[in-house]
Amino acid sequence: MLIGCPKEIKPQEFRVGMTPAAVMEATRAGHQVIIETEAGSGAGFPDDDYRAMGAEIVGTAEEVFARAEMIVKVKEPQAVERKRLREGQVLFTYLHLAPDRAQTEDLIASGCTAIAYETVTDAAGGLPLLAPMSEVAGRLAPQVGAWTLQKANGGRGVLMGGVPGVAPAKVVVIGGGVVGTHAARIAAGMGADVTVLDRSLPRLRYLDDVFGRQFKNGFASAEKTARHVADADMVIGAVLIPGAAAPKLVSRAQLSEMKPGAAIVDVAIDQGGCFETSRATTHQDPIYEVDGIMHYCVANMPGAVARTSTQALGNATLPFLMALANKGWRLACSENEHLLNGLNVHAGKLTYEAVGKALDLPAINPREALRI
């Protein structure tokens, strides 16, 4: 198979879809790999590293899209990239379609086969291709939240760990999954007073058993969530419904109950955000204010630590990438139900029910797509 990896063009996105190590795996298995020049430079991988592993370096994204049978990326294809996709071509990347009608309609119109990292599953019920970036984003959230809290950035001027005689920042993490757990660990490590809220009692028991007194936890009833949010210096939104739009857990009316200059970090922004007032921002202009509350809603947070993120993502995607290249998407998905769960679009049809519900579009069963 001819595999293509273009340079990411989303603003301030420095990750790359394939590492040189992944290129070596592919070329040793007999596949061809073409990489757009400078695609890996933002993550610290120069063109020569790819050449050494057997890749061909090409000058433009247009050539990558025109020649490749499978396109491997990190972020969802931007409008100009979607115009380059064609019928029969496989796209393997993050898509996050539920809050993005324009992208969904363009992918359907292209006729391509689009497999989303974020909906591939595993035997334990997890999301193995989302987990590495969730870990990165979770660990980043208290770090960027602490920066947002600084007075010069519009925040309350509160130090995460406090100092002797002065209380630390109160941090509330909504969601006790991968993002929330990592966010809570880092925030607690910075000395903050941390509470994790979740609606799953088994998950709360797990957090209590594993982390004990590192941070507190509570059941995320509407009343308790509102009370904790009102008392917080920082709120981290860390909820996820696989493939679907994130639920809105904090309303604009509740902002008036928060402390002026408090910080919101919405890690769920890729799926539309879990705060009513959330809108996607970029690393270049990450913060905005609504009713005195500072919002950090960068849609590609892991891009800030591109080398770590690229390596972590590459470790997770490689087995699936090789299955798709070695067997073709149809056989690979028919043999692996977890990879089939990643199929979001095929041959002009939407194949992921949660996206169809979110956008009020018809969707077929992915197994039906195997026969098209």
The set of catalytic residues is: 96, 270
Chain centroid to CA 121: how far? Answer: 15
Sign (positive or negative) of CA dihedral 211, 214, 220, 221:
positive
- What burial class does residue 288 get, using C-beta atoms within 10 Å of its C-beta: 0-12 exposed, 13-18 middle, 19+ buried? middle
Cβ atoms of 40 and 66 within 8 Å: the answer is: no
Q: Are 280 and 269 in contact (CB under 8 A)?
A: yes
SS3 assignment for the chain: CEEEECCCCCCCCCCCCCCHHHHHHHHHCCCEEEEECCCCHHHCCCHHHHHHCCCEEECCHHHHHHHCCEEECCCCCCHHHHCCCCCCCEEEECCCCCCCHHHHHHHHHHCCEEEEHHHCCCCCCCCCCCHHHHHHHHHHHHHHHHHHHCHHHCCCCCCCCCECCECCCEEEEECCCHHHHHHHHHHHHCCCEEEEEECCHHHHHHHHHHHHHHCEEEECCHHHHHHHHHHCCEEEECCCCCCCCCCCCECHHHHCCCCCCCEEEEHHHHHCCCECCCCCECCCCCEEEECCEEEECECCHHHHHHHHHHHHHHHHHHHHHHHHHHHHHHHHHHHCHHHHCCEEEECCEECCHHHHHHHCCCCCCHHHHCCC
